[in-house]
Protein backbone atom coordinates (compact mmCIF):
# COMPACT_ATOMS: atom_id res chain seq x y z
CA UNK A 1 0.00 0.00 0.00
CA UNK A 2 1.38 3.40 -1.00
CA UNK A 3 2.13 5.69 1.91
CA UNK A 4 0.72 9.19 2.14
CA UNK A 5 3.39 11.76 2.93
CA UNK A 6 2.51 14.66 5.20
CA UNK A 7 4.29 16.95 7.64
CA UNK A 8 7.91 17.98 8.07
CA UNK A 9 10.36 15.55 6.45
CA UNK A 10 14.05 16.08 7.16
CA UNK A 11 16.12 16.26 3.98
CA UNK A 12 19.07 14.61 5.63
CA UNK A 13 22.80 15.07 5.56
CA UNK A 14 24.89 12.05 4.58
CA UNK A 15 27.07 11.05 7.56
CA UNK A 16 30.72 10.43 6.71
CA UNK A 17 33.63 9.15 8.75
CA UNK A 18 36.14 11.66 10.10
CA UNK A 19 38.30 11.80 6.97
CA UNK A 20 35.31 11.79 4.61
CA UNK A 21 36.43 8.68 2.72
CA UNK A 22 33.29 6.63 3.39
CA UNK A 23 29.76 6.85 4.72
CA UNK A 24 29.39 6.07 8.42
CA UNK A 25 26.46 3.75 9.16
CA UNK A 26 26.87 4.01 12.93
CA UNK A 27 26.53 7.77 12.78
CA UNK A 28 23.62 7.41 10.36
CA UNK A 29 21.71 5.13 12.73
CA UNK A 30 22.24 7.44 15.71
CA UNK A 31 21.10 10.41 13.62
CA UNK A 32 17.99 8.54 12.46
CA UNK A 33 17.11 7.51 16.02
CA UNK A 34 17.27 11.19 16.98
CA UNK A 35 14.80 12.00 14.20
CA UNK A 36 12.43 9.33 15.52
CA UNK A 37 12.73 10.59 19.09
CA UNK A 38 11.75 14.04 17.84
CA UNK A 39 8.66 12.71 16.04
CA UNK A 40 9.86 13.35 12.50
CA UNK A 41 7.54 11.39 10.16
CA UNK A 42 10.08 10.82 7.42
CA UNK A 43 13.53 11.45 6.01
CA UNK A 44 14.67 12.22 2.49
CA UNK A 45 18.10 10.83 1.70
CA UNK A 46 20.45 11.98 -1.05
CA UNK A 47 18.91 15.35 -1.68
CA UNK A 48 21.03 18.46 -2.15
CA UNK A 49 21.76 18.56 1.58
CA UNK A 50 22.77 14.89 1.34
CA UNK A 51 25.55 15.72 -1.16
CA UNK A 52 24.22 13.19 -3.66
CA UNK A 53 26.66 14.32 -6.34
CA UNK A 54 29.63 13.16 -4.25
CA UNK A 55 28.27 9.70 -3.44
CA UNK A 56 29.61 6.57 -5.19
CA UNK A 57 27.29 3.87 -6.54
CA UNK A 58 28.30 1.51 -3.74
CA UNK A 59 27.79 4.17 -1.08
CA UNK A 60 24.35 4.97 -2.51
CA UNK A 61 23.25 1.36 -2.26
CA UNK A 62 24.61 0.93 1.28
CA UNK A 63 23.15 4.23 2.50
CA UNK A 64 19.65 3.55 1.19
CA UNK A 65 19.70 -0.04 2.40
CA UNK A 66 20.85 0.96 5.90
CA UNK A 67 18.27 3.77 6.14
CA UNK A 68 15.40 1.51 5.13
CA UNK A 69 16.51 -1.34 7.40
CA UNK A 70 16.89 0.99 10.36
CA UNK A 71 13.45 2.50 9.74
CA UNK A 72 11.61 -0.70 10.69
CA UNK A 73 8.35 1.12 10.01
CA UNK A 74 9.17 4.03 12.32
CA UNK A 75 9.53 6.65 9.59
CA UNK A 76 9.07 7.02 5.84
CA UNK A 77 12.11 6.93 3.59
CA UNK A 78 12.26 8.91 0.37
CA UNK A 79 15.37 8.88 -1.81
CA UNK A 80 16.79 11.40 -4.24
CA UNK A 81 17.38 9.49 -7.49
CA UNK A 82 18.04 12.34 -9.89
CA UNK A 83 20.77 12.33 -12.49
CA UNK A 84 21.64 14.33 -15.59
CA UNK A 85 21.54 11.05 -17.58
CA UNK A 86 17.98 9.71 -17.83
CA UNK A 87 18.79 5.95 -17.82
CA UNK A 88 20.90 6.39 -14.71
CA UNK A 89 18.09 8.27 -12.91
CA UNK A 90 15.71 5.46 -13.88
CA UNK A 91 18.16 2.83 -12.60
CA UNK A 92 18.68 4.67 -9.31
CA UNK A 93 14.90 4.86 -8.93
CA UNK A 94 14.43 1.15 -9.51
CA UNK A 95 17.25 0.37 -7.08
CA UNK A 96 15.61 2.51 -4.37
CA UNK A 97 12.37 0.60 -4.85
CA UNK A 98 14.16 -2.76 -4.68
CA UNK A 99 15.85 -1.67 -1.44
CA UNK A 100 12.50 -0.83 0.14
CA UNK A 101 12.21 2.96 -0.12
CA UNK A 102 8.73 4.46 0.24
CA UNK A 103 9.11 7.20 -2.35
CA UNK A 104 11.46 9.24 -4.52
CA UNK A 105 12.37 12.92 -4.76
CA UNK A 106 13.67 13.86 -8.21
CA UNK A 107 14.91 17.14 -9.65
CA UNK A 108 14.91 17.63 -13.45
CA UNK A 109 18.14 16.91 -15.36
CA UNK A 110 20.64 19.51 -14.24
CA UNK A 111 23.26 21.40 -16.27
CA UNK A 112 21.59 20.89 -19.67
CA UNK A 113 18.73 23.40 -19.19
CA UNK A 114 16.21 20.92 -20.63
CA UNK A 115 13.03 21.94 -22.42
CA UNK A 116 9.60 21.15 -21.02
CA UNK A 117 9.33 18.16 -23.37
CA UNK A 118 12.75 16.86 -22.31
CA UNK A 119 11.75 17.13 -18.65
CA UNK A 120 8.49 15.34 -19.42
CA UNK A 121 10.28 12.45 -21.13
CA UNK A 122 12.81 12.22 -18.27
CA UNK A 123 10.01 11.65 -15.78
CA UNK A 124 8.22 9.30 -18.17
CA UNK A 125 11.29 7.04 -18.24
CA UNK A 126 11.55 7.09 -14.45
CA UNK A 127 7.85 6.26 -14.04
CA UNK A 128 8.33 3.29 -16.36
CA UNK A 129 11.14 1.97 -14.14
CA UNK A 130 9.45 2.14 -10.75
CA UNK A 131 6.06 1.98 -9.04
CA UNK A 132 7.02 4.31 -6.20
CA UNK A 133 5.34 7.68 -5.64
CA UNK A 134 7.45 10.52 -6.98
CA UNK A 135 8.00 13.97 -5.52
CA UNK A 136 9.07 16.44 -8.19
CA UNK A 137 11.77 18.80 -6.96
CA UNK A 138 11.55 22.28 -8.42
CA UNK A 139 14.74 24.17 -7.62
CA UNK A 140 15.82 26.50 -10.45
CA UNK A 141 19.02 27.46 -8.60
CA UNK A 142 20.49 23.97 -8.93
CA UNK A 143 18.72 22.55 -11.99
CA UNK A 144 18.81 25.71 -14.12
CA UNK A 145 15.15 25.10 -14.93
CA UNK A 146 12.00 26.35 -13.25
CA UNK A 147 9.11 23.94 -13.76
CA UNK A 148 6.03 26.15 -14.23
CA UNK A 149 2.65 25.18 -12.84
CA UNK A 150 1.42 24.25 -16.33
CA UNK A 151 4.20 21.66 -16.78
CA UNK A 152 3.59 20.27 -13.30
CA UNK A 153 -0.11 19.95 -14.11
CA UNK A 154 0.68 18.20 -17.41
CA UNK A 155 2.80 15.56 -15.68
CA UNK A 156 0.36 15.19 -12.79
CA UNK A 157 -2.43 14.42 -15.25
CA UNK A 158 -0.38 11.91 -17.26
CA UNK A 159 1.64 10.07 -14.60
CA UNK A 160 -0.34 8.70 -11.61
CA UNK A 161 2.88 8.29 -9.59
CA UNK A 162 3.61 12.01 -9.65
CA UNK A 163 1.55 13.30 -6.77
CA UNK A 164 4.06 15.35 -4.76
CA UNK A 165 6.31 18.31 -5.41
CA UNK A 166 8.94 20.13 -3.37
CA UNK A 167 8.40 23.70 -4.47
CA UNK A 168 11.62 25.68 -4.00
CA UNK A 169 11.39 28.27 -6.77
CA UNK A 170 11.61 31.11 -4.19
CA UNK A 171 8.14 32.21 -5.39
CA UNK A 172 5.83 31.16 -2.57
CA UNK A 173 2.75 32.02 -4.65
CA UNK A 174 3.68 29.07 -6.86
CA UNK A 175 2.25 26.80 -4.15
CA UNK A 176 -1.21 28.20 -4.83
CA UNK A 177 -0.67 28.13 -8.60
CA UNK A 178 0.20 24.41 -8.53
CA UNK A 179 -2.75 23.48 -6.34
CA UNK A 180 -5.06 25.39 -8.67
CA UNK A 181 -3.52 24.07 -11.91
CA UNK A 182 -3.78 20.44 -10.72
CA UNK A 183 -7.28 20.88 -9.22
CA UNK A 184 -5.90 19.94 -5.83
CA UNK A 185 -4.45 16.60 -6.98
CA UNK A 186 -0.82 17.60 -6.47
CA UNK A 187 0.42 17.57 -2.88
CA UNK A 188 2.79 20.50 -2.47
CA UNK A 189 5.65 20.40 0.02
CA UNK A 190 7.22 23.70 0.99
CA UNK A 191 10.84 24.16 -0.02
CA UNK A 192 11.08 27.40 1.95
CA UNK A 193 8.79 29.73 3.97
CA UNK A 194 6.70 26.91 5.49
CA UNK A 195 4.16 29.18 7.19
CA UNK A 196 3.24 31.05 4.02
CA UNK A 197 3.33 27.83 1.98
CA UNK A 198 0.91 26.14 4.39
CA UNK A 199 -1.50 29.06 4.16
CA UNK A 200 -1.42 28.74 0.36
CA UNK A 201 -2.18 25.01 0.38
CA UNK A 202 1.04 23.07 1.11
CA UNK A 203 0.64 19.76 2.98
CA UNK A 204 4.24 19.27 4.11
CA UNK A 205 7.72 20.65 4.36
CA UNK A 206 11.03 19.36 2.97
CA UNK A 207 13.06 20.58 5.90
CA UNK A 208 16.86 21.10 5.89
CA UNK A 209 16.76 22.48 9.44
CA UNK A 210 15.67 19.09 10.72
CA UNK A 211 19.34 18.09 10.62
CA UNK A 212 19.94 20.05 13.80
CA UNK A 213 16.51 21.28 14.99
CA UNK A 214 14.32 18.25 14.28
CA UNK A 215 11.89 18.76 17.14
CA UNK A 216 11.23 22.50 16.78
CA UNK A 217 10.86 22.39 13.00
CA UNK A 218 8.68 19.26 13.10
CA UNK A 219 6.45 20.99 15.65
CA UNK A 220 6.36 24.11 13.47
CA UNK A 221 4.40 22.20 10.86
CA UNK A 222 2.20 20.44 13.41
CA UNK A 223 1.32 23.80 14.94
CA UNK A 224 0.19 25.04 11.53
CA UNK A 225 -2.08 22.01 11.16
CA UNK A 226 -3.43 22.69 14.67
CA UNK A 227 -4.29 26.26 13.64
CA UNK A 228 -1.62 27.82 15.86
CA UNK A 229 -0.15 29.99 13.12
CA UNK A 230 1.20 32.59 15.55
CA UNK A 231 3.32 30.03 17.41
CA UNK A 232 4.58 28.52 14.14
CA UNK A 233 5.46 31.98 12.88
CA UNK A 234 7.51 32.69 16.02
CA UNK A 235 9.58 29.57 15.33
CA UNK A 236 10.00 30.52 11.67
CA UNK A 237 11.23 34.00 12.60
CA UNK A 238 13.95 32.53 14.81
CA UNK A 239 14.93 30.04 12.09
CA UNK A 240 15.24 32.94 9.66
CA UNK A 241 17.53 34.75 12.12
CA UNK A 242 20.13 32.01 12.27
CA UNK A 243 19.74 31.27 8.56
CA UNK A 244 20.85 34.82 7.85
CA UNK A 245 23.92 34.31 10.06
CA UNK A 246 24.91 31.34 7.90
CA UNK A 247 24.15 33.07 4.61
CA UNK A 248 26.02 36.31 5.27
CA UNK A 249 29.16 36.35 3.15
CA UNK A 250 29.02 32.62 2.50
CA UNK A 251 28.97 30.78 -0.87
CA UNK A 252 25.81 29.25 -2.29
CA UNK A 253 25.10 25.93 -0.58
CA UNK A 254 27.94 26.59 1.86
CA UNK A 255 25.25 26.09 4.48
CA UNK A 256 25.85 22.35 4.15
CA UNK A 257 29.01 22.47 6.22
CA UNK A 258 27.09 24.39 8.87
CA UNK A 259 24.37 21.72 8.81
CA UNK A 260 26.95 19.11 9.72
CA UNK A 261 28.72 21.30 12.27
CA UNK A 262 25.42 22.14 13.94
CA UNK A 263 24.34 18.49 14.03
CA UNK A 264 27.60 17.74 15.82
CA UNK A 265 27.05 20.65 18.21
CA UNK A 266 23.67 19.13 19.08
CA UNK A 267 25.35 15.83 19.94
CA UNK A 268 25.18 13.97 16.62
CA UNK A 269 28.50 14.08 14.74
CA UNK A 270 28.12 13.34 11.03
CA UNK A 271 31.54 14.27 9.66
CA UNK A 272 32.23 17.18 7.33
CA UNK A 273 31.28 17.82 3.71
CA UNK A 274 33.12 16.56 0.64
CA UNK A 275 34.90 18.67 -1.97
CA UNK A 276 34.20 20.94 -3.67
CA UNK A 277 31.96 22.17 -0.85
CA UNK A 278 33.52 24.40 1.79
CA UNK A 279 34.58 22.42 4.84
CA UNK A 280 33.60 23.90 8.17
CA UNK A 281 37.13 23.52 9.51
CA UNK A 282 38.47 25.76 6.76
CA UNK A 283 36.30 28.66 7.93
CA UNK A 284 38.45 29.16 11.02
CA UNK A 285 37.41 31.97 13.34
CA UNK A 286 34.52 32.97 11.07
CA UNK A 287 32.94 29.55 11.47
CA UNK A 288 33.52 29.37 15.21
CA UNK A 289 32.04 32.84 15.76
CA UNK A 290 28.98 32.13 13.66
CA UNK A 291 28.46 28.79 15.37
CA UNK A 292 28.32 30.54 18.75
CA UNK A 293 25.86 33.10 17.39
CA UNK A 294 23.65 30.37 15.97
CA UNK A 295 23.73 28.31 19.15
CA UNK A 296 22.54 31.41 21.04
CA UNK A 297 19.50 31.53 18.75
CA UNK A 298 18.98 27.81 19.35
CA UNK A 299 18.73 28.56 23.07
CA UNK A 300 15.90 30.98 22.28
CA UNK A 301 14.19 28.35 20.15
CA UNK A 302 14.54 25.71 22.86
CA UNK A 303 13.04 28.10 25.42
CA UNK A 304 10.21 28.93 23.05
CA UNK A 305 9.46 25.24 22.58
CA UNK A 306 9.24 24.74 26.35
CA UNK A 307 6.65 27.52 26.48
CA UNK A 308 4.70 26.21 23.48
CA UNK A 309 4.67 22.65 24.80
CA UNK A 310 3.57 23.82 28.26
CA UNK A 311 0.65 25.69 26.76
CA UNK A 312 -0.18 22.65 24.61
CA UNK A 313 -0.21 20.46 27.71
CA UNK A 314 -2.42 22.90 29.63
CA UNK A 315 -4.84 23.06 26.71
CA UNK A 316 -5.02 19.27 26.50
CA UNK A 317 -5.73 19.04 30.25
CA UNK A 318 -8.48 21.65 29.98
CA UNK A 319 -10.14 19.68 27.18
CA UNK A 320 -10.04 16.47 29.20
CA UNK A 321 -11.50 18.25 32.23
CA UNK A 322 -14.32 19.64 30.12
Tell whether the model's pLDDT for residue 259 goes beyond 60. Answer: yes
pLDDT given at position 308: 97
pLDDT in tens, 211-254: 999 999 999 999 999 999 999 999 999 999 999 999 886 665 56
> Is there a domain that residue 48 lies in?
yes
Average pLDDT over residues 24-39: 98
Determine the structural domain holding residue 149 and report its residue range.
7-226
| Tens-place pLDDT, residues 33-62 | 999 999 999 999 999 999 999 999 999 999
pLDDT band, very low/low/confident/very high, at 277 (cuts 50, 70, 90): very high
**Would you say residue 319 lies in a domain?**
no
Residue 246 lies in a domain: no
Task: Round to whole Å and give the CA distance between 174 and 124.
Answer: 23
Average pLDDT over residues 113-129: 98
CA separation, residue 90 to residues 81, 87, 97, 104, 187 (Å): 8, 5, 11, 11, 22
Whole-structure pTM over 0.85, yes or no?
A: yes
Average pLDDT over residues 160-167: 98
- Which of 166, 212, 215, 290 is catalytic? The answer is 166
322 pLDDT above the threshold of 80: no
Active site (annotated) includes residue 137: yes
Asked if residue 163 is part of any domain, the answer here is: yes
Residue 220 lies in a domain: yes
**pLDDT value for 250:** 64
pLDDT (mean) for 180-200? 98
For position 113, which CATH number holds? 3.20.20.70
Does residue 144 carry a pLDDT above 80?
Answer: yes
In a domain, 233, yes or no: no
Give percent of the chain above pLDDT 90: 90
Tens digit of each residue's pLDDT (9 = 90 or more) over 171-185: 999 999 999 999 999
Place 320 in a pLDDT band, splitting at 50, 70 and 90. Answer: low
Residue 304 lies in a domain: no
Output the pLDDT for position 248. Answer: 85
pLDDT at residue 3, rounded to an integer? 83
User: Which pLDDT does position 42 carry in this prediction?
Assistant: 98
| pLDDT tens-digit readout, 58-110 | 999 999 999 999 999 999 999 999 999 999 999 999 999 999 999 999 999 99
Considering the chain, what is the average pLDDT of its residues?
Answer: 95
**Average of pLDDT values for 127-149?**
96
Confidence of residue 255 (pLDDT cuts 50, 70, 90): confident
Show the 3-state SS of the chain.
CCCCCCEEEEECCCCECCCCCCECHHHHHHHHHHHHHCCCCEEEECCCCCCHHHCCHHHHHHHHHHHHHHHCCCCEEEEECCCCCHHHHHHHHHHHHHCCCCEEEECCCCCCCCCHHHHHHHHHHHHHHCCCCEEEEECHHHHCCCCCHHHHHHHHHHCCCEEEEEECCCCCHHHHHHHHHCCCCCEEEECCCHHHHHHCCCCEEEEHHHHCCHHHHHHHHHHHHCCCHHHHHHHHHHHHHHHHHHHCCCCCCCHHHHHHHHHHHCCCCCCCCCCCCCCHHHHCHHHHHHHHHHHHHHHHHHHHHHHHHHHHHHHHHHHHHC
- How many domains would you assign to the chain? 1
Given the residues 75, 122, 123, 137, select the one marked as catalytic: 137
Would residue 19 count as lying in a domain? yes
CA atoms of 151 and 249, how far apart (whole Å): 35
Could you tell me the pLDDT band of residue 132, with boundaries at 50, 70 and 90? very high
Amino acid sequence: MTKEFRGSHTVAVTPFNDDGTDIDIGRLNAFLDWQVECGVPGVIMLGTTGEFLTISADERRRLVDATVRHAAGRYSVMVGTMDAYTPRAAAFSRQAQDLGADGLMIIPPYYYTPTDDEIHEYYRAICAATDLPIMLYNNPVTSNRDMPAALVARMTAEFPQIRYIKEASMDVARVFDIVEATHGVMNVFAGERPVESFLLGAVGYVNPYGNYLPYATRRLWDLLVEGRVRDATRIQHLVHRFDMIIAEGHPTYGHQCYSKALAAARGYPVGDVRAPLTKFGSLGEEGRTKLKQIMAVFEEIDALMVDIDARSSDSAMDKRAA
